[in-house]
Structure 1
Amino acid sequence: MKQLIVINKRTLGLIACAWLCVSIASAQSRSLSLEEAVSLARKQSVDASVALNELKTAYWEYRTYKANLLPEMNFSASLPNYQKAYSAYQQDDGSYTYVRNNYLNMQGELSIDQNIWLTGGKLSIATSLDFMKQLDGTKDRRYMSLPVAITLQQPVFGVNSIKWDRRIEPVRYQEAKAAFISATEDVTIKTIDYYFNLLLAGENVGIAEQNLRNAEKLYEVAKAKREMGQISKNDLLQMELNVLDARSSLTGYESARKSSMFRLQSFLGLEDNEQIVPVVPDTLQAIELSYGEVREKALRNNSFVHNIRRRQLEADYAVAKARGNLRQVTLFAQVGFTGTARDAGDAYRNLKDNQVVQLGVKVPLLDWGKRRGQVKVAQSNREVMRSRLKKETMEFNQNLFILVEQFNKQQEQLDIANRADEIARKRYDTNVETYMIGKISTLDLNDSQTTKDEARRKHLTEMFYYWYYLYQIRSLTLWDWHHNTGIDADFEKIIKE
């Protein structure tokens, strides 16, 4: 009875170990659909992280530009400024001597600055208070107040940078937002590439395993036929060679599958020990795309259009800046009141006008055509940019046309490959049975096997191109063609996450 109990315990232990091994093995493998892989890539891949950080950079650059258009409050102070040193002093007879200064000075200013959008100048309203105390001699002290002062700084002929920023920066941000969505779609395209590489590698392993089993089975049959004298020794050796070739192919395909597995795992941010089992995706409902409609969506949504517009504006800005440098005239004007006294309160009484008007002029009299040359260079660069943008637009439209044509033909190619795969499999199964009864040669059997394998690979390859072309068009148009909706994102939410 004790022996029976021991046996039962051992049996239970073996069952538990087997169950644990199966659980571990199943935990390490993971069935992953294409949609799940795309979702993981958009959340965890390095490419998605780069796209997000680029969007955040563009967002904060745009926020900085917007803040530059709003009033800015500043406080500046010197608390304190102590000096005990000798300084030069001019006497009544014109000679200089050195006098000793020993004083304490403190000053503070509060200002509100506003850039003027229309003219490119700056308007400031400020109030300030200065205090000075002599630490030697009479040890006198003085306050100087500036209750209010209005200051205008205005370039007269220079380029209005604020006006150009208001033209360029919104376009730049729109370009960045469209580029982020396109980059997200590019992550999907790269996921499709890695996913189908693994899918094809796994299919190759499955084909190689099946071929090895068939080759071993046929080799055993060939040995029996040879003993009965039904086939030649050459045919027997050929069947043995087929077994060796099948084993070699299986080893190579297993290595390729591991490499494809590692690339997809790394891209999706998964652990190396988490084995992925890809699932052949379903084919979407067939659609026919019109080049005119696709082009219209691309020219409206793609970051390329915003990129073209931004570069045109930047080239125009460079010309305007070069022209503004031909001469420089700056107006500085300040009006306000000021007062001085021994006490801080008295410094705000008996105020006097404080007015400053200054017109600065810098006009080159002789620069050997340097500034006009800079204008010509900027104008030439603008013409080069226009030609380059025209060429890029033509290439963009051409590539888009080719892509639409490829996608429209790909559905037919996929249907043909699917049918060819079915026929090739049935033909090979029939040829195996025919070979077993000696109706066909080894060469005919090998030919049907090769045809079967190539048909299966071509089917998966055509399926890959179907998804690849579809998401290429989605990336360029930022449009979901199967649901007929635009591809958009809540950028504020994405940036704050």
Structure 2
Amino acid sequence: MKIFRQLMLSLALAVSMTAGASGETTRTITLDEAILRARSSSVDAAVALNELRTAYWTYRTYRADLLPEINFNATVPSYRKSYSAYQLEDGSYTFVRNNNLQMSGEVSIDQNIWLTGGMLSLNTSLDFLKQLDGAKYNRFMSIPVALTLSQPIFGVNNIKWNRRIEPVRYAEAKAKFISATEQVAMTAINYYFSLLLSKENVNIANQNLANAEKLYEVAKAKRDMGQISKNDLLQLELNLLNARSSLTDCESQYKSDMFQLRAFLDIEADVTLDPVVPAEIPYALVNYDDVLEKAHANNSFSKNIRRRQLEADYEVARAKGSQRQITLYAQIGYTGTADKMGLAYDRLKDNQVVEMGFKIPILDWGKRRGQVKVSESNRDVVTSRLRKEQMDFDQNIFILVERFNNQRQQLENALRADTIAQRRYDTNVETFLIGKISTLDLNDSQVSKDESRQAYINQLYLYWNYYYQLRSVALWDFSTNTGIDRDIDAIVRN
């Protein structure tokens, strides 16, 4: 009965892994398919895309600030019925009644001047006043054309600094998005090989259980004939119990890893994924100098270093600019006023306004000078941190290159060890059946077989992981010797 129950359990597991449970379907999936689906359907890929879109529209907003802007401002209408204080010739005050209707409209074309940080505007406007009490009348005032300049002097030129920082920020965002897609692939590889290893462990546990049952039945017959000791029989029975327990643990881990991969790839819960061992691996022989050069040119880290240095310099410039504030305002144009709208454009007079305001601290107890020193100190801190981060970045690339170049040999050794361990175990099982080796030797060969198979899957995982780390760092496909590039504008628009 025990043998029958174990056979039924093994059969049920095999059915669940190939045909799925009731209502489930089984789908064979390769590593390439898992990576492709992760890049298109995973939540991590969606997050990376949304971050890219945010950076794209931030950059578009910056670009729009450099272009002319057309604005229309209007007050339609403004009605007032109130009393206001009015001073008479003798110095006394009285109150006068106001009851009027006003309307105004202005069209302006504004252009930021990135070279100086000022703004140049071309304006045209029309104002209308209708008196509703007393001597009722209408009055129009027009400014057909006026040219206005608003220019800060000695202050920080925000537009100029944005022209330096924002393109670097957007280039960083684009490189970060491409790296993020490679990170998504690495996560998919991690989940895929976890499931693949769990599947192999379930297969190993099934094989071990079947062999343990077979050997235990043979051992009982041999014990009855006095060919083996009681100790060997108990050891084989213990092996059988351990095999059953191991199978239960492996099945539980298999289901957990299945859930993780399905959730990450956004696959229905009623689909059973059947991962296969990759038949081929991407071949590439890389050297440190080449990877480092491509990483410095393509990786978002290099753009991040440049942006943070520029931002630190900008803070220093802004602190220095705040030490004195001088603003020039100038306007030239024409204006006209009349009782009728048409006449307001005929009787034009010159209209000029020139103003210069300034604020220069005479005594601030060193506050502004202290702000400059603080910003300069912060810049020195940022510079030191960036130098340290750059050194760590370069060192990590060196370690990664060394590990990847060594991993191919490690993978070949693991494959050879797996083949030898399996042959040794098969041979030992046959030898044990004819009584030539002990249970200890048999157990040792089984442990070696299981560990060798697991080690091969792990080494295969490490190879793929290191390869995609290289792709993510350098944004370069070393197997085809081509850059990893994406049509960012098309991605954002879609």
Please give the TM-score of this superposition, normalised by the length of structure 2.
0.95
The answer as to 2:265 corresponding to 1:234 is no
Shift of 1:25: 6.3
**Distance across 2 between alignment mates of 1:394 and 1:23:** 51
Answering whether residue 368 of structure 2 is matched by residue 371 of structure 1, we say yes
1:249 aligns with 2:246: yes
Tell me the CA shift for residue 286 of structure 1. Answer: 3.6
Aligned equivalent of 1:116, options 90, 113, 117 = 113
Q: Which whole-Å CA distance do the structure 1 matches of 2:166 and 2:351 have between them?
A: 39
Q: Give 1:290 deviation, angstroms.
A: 0.6
Match of 1:88 in 2: 85
| Match status 1:335 vs 2:332 | yes
Q: CA deviation at 1:282?
A: 2.3
Identity score, percent: 64
Instruction: Map residues 484-495 of structure 1 onto 2, 5 A cutoff.
Output: 484-495=481-492
CA distance in 2, matches of 1:59, 1:242: 62
Matched residue, 1:266 = 263
C-alpha distance in 1 between matches for 2:449 and 2:289: 40
2:488 partner amino acid: F
Larger deviation, residues 128-137 vs 90-99: 90-99
Are 1:50 and 2:33 counterparts? no
**Partners in 2 of 1:272 and 1:23 — Cα distance?**
11
Query: 2:22 & 2:39 partners in 1: Cα distance?
Result: 28
Deviation at 1:285, TM superposition (A): 5.0
Change (3 A) 1:257 1:439: same
Correspondence for 2:29 = 32
**Tell me, what secondary structure is at the counterpart of 2:117?**
coil
The secondary structure found in structure 2 opposite 1:282 is coil
Q: Given that residues 100 and 131 in structure 2 are in contact (C-alpha distance below 8 angstroms), is that contact kept between their aligned partners in structure 1?
A: yes
How many angstroms does 1:94 deviate by? 1.8
Map Cα deviations across residues 67-113 of structure 1 (whole Å, 9 max, x no partner).
Answer: 10000000000000011111121111222222111110000000000
Aligned to 1:7: none
Secondary structure, counterpart of 1:85 in structure 2: strand
Stretch of structure 1 that moved more, 272-281 or 119-128? 272-281
Show the 5 A alignment for 1:50-89: 50-89=47-86
Aligned partner of 1:192 among 177, 189, 192: 189
SS of structure 2 residue aligned to 1:101: strand
SS at match of 2:486: coil
Amino acid at match of 2:214: K
- Name the structure 2 match of 1:217: 214
Partner of 2:351: 354
Aligned letter for 1:279? V
In structure 2, the residue matched to 1:8 is: none
1:470 aligned residue (467, 470, 473): 467
How far 1:284 sits from its partner (Å)?
Answer: 2.2
Q: Distance in 2 between matches of 1:180 and 1:237?
A: 60
Aligned partners of 2:403 and 2:93: how far apart in 1? 89
Task: Output the amino acid matched with 1:288.
Answer: L
How many aligned residue pairs are there? 478
* Matching residue's letter, 1:170: P
* Separation of aligned partners in 2, 1:305 and 1:189: 22
Match of 1:278 in 2: 275
- Write the distance in 1 (CA, Å) between the matches of 2:304 and 2:357: 38
Instruction: Give 2:476's aligned residue.
Output: 479
- Provide the secondary structure at the position in 1 that maps to 2:74: strand
Give the superposition deviation at 1:241: 1.0
What is the alpha-carbon root mean square deviation over aligned residues?
1.4
Q: Distance in 2 between matches of 1:22 and 1:182?
A: 38
CA distance, structure 1, for counterparts of residue 309 and residue 77 of structure 2 = 51
SS of residue matched to 2:46: helix
> Cα deviations across residues 246-286 of structure 1 (Å, max 9, x unaligned)?
01000001000111011111110111111110011123254
Aligned match of 2:388: 391
Using a 3 Å threshold, how does the CA distance of structure 1 residues 24 and 264 change in structure 2: closer, same or farther?
A: closer
Task: State whether structure 2 residue 136 is matched by structure 1 residue 139.
Answer: yes
Counterpart among 300, 305, 313 of residue 316 in structure 1: 313
Q: Aligned pair 1:152/2:158, yes or no?
A: no
CA–CA separation in structure 1 for the residues paired with 2:279 and 2:385: 42
Preserved contact between residue 73 and residue 105 of structure 2 (Cα < 8 Å): yes
Which amino acid in structure 2 is aligned with residue 54 of structure 1?
E
Q: State the Cα distance separating 1:238 from its structure 2 match.
A: 1.2
> Paired residue for 2:412?
415
Question: What does 1:290-329 align with in structure 2 at a 5 Å threshold?
Answer: 290-329=287-326
Question: In 2, Cα distance between the equivalents of 1:419 and 1:174?
Answer: 46
Contact 2:139 2:338 in 1 (8 A): yes
Rounded to whole Å, the distance in 2 between the matches of 1:466 and 1:33 is 16
Deviation larger for 413-422 or 270-279 = 270-279
What is the distance in 1 between the residues matched to 2:208 and 2:141?
Answer: 99
Tell me, in whole angstroms, the C-alpha distance in 1 between the residues paired with 2:47 and 2:207: 43
Shift of 1:449: 0.1
Equivalent residue, structure 1, for 2:12:
none
Aligned counterparts of 1:144 and 1:93: Cα–Cα separation in 2:
32
Selected match of 2:401 from 395, 404, 415: 404
Q: Which ranges of structure 1 fall in alignment gaps of 5 or more residues?
A: 1-17
Aligned to 2:94: 97
Worse-superposed segment, 270-279 or 177-186: 270-279
TM-score by length of structure 1 reads: 0.95
Bigger drift between 226-235 and 461-470 goes to 226-235
The reply on whether 1:173 has 2:170 as its aligned counterpart is yes
- Structure 1 residue 47: deviation in Å? 0.5
Match of 2:7 in 1: none
- The code of the aligned residue for 1:359 comes to M
Amino acid at match of 1:391: K
Q: Which moved more, 1:27-36 or 1:72-81?
A: 27-36
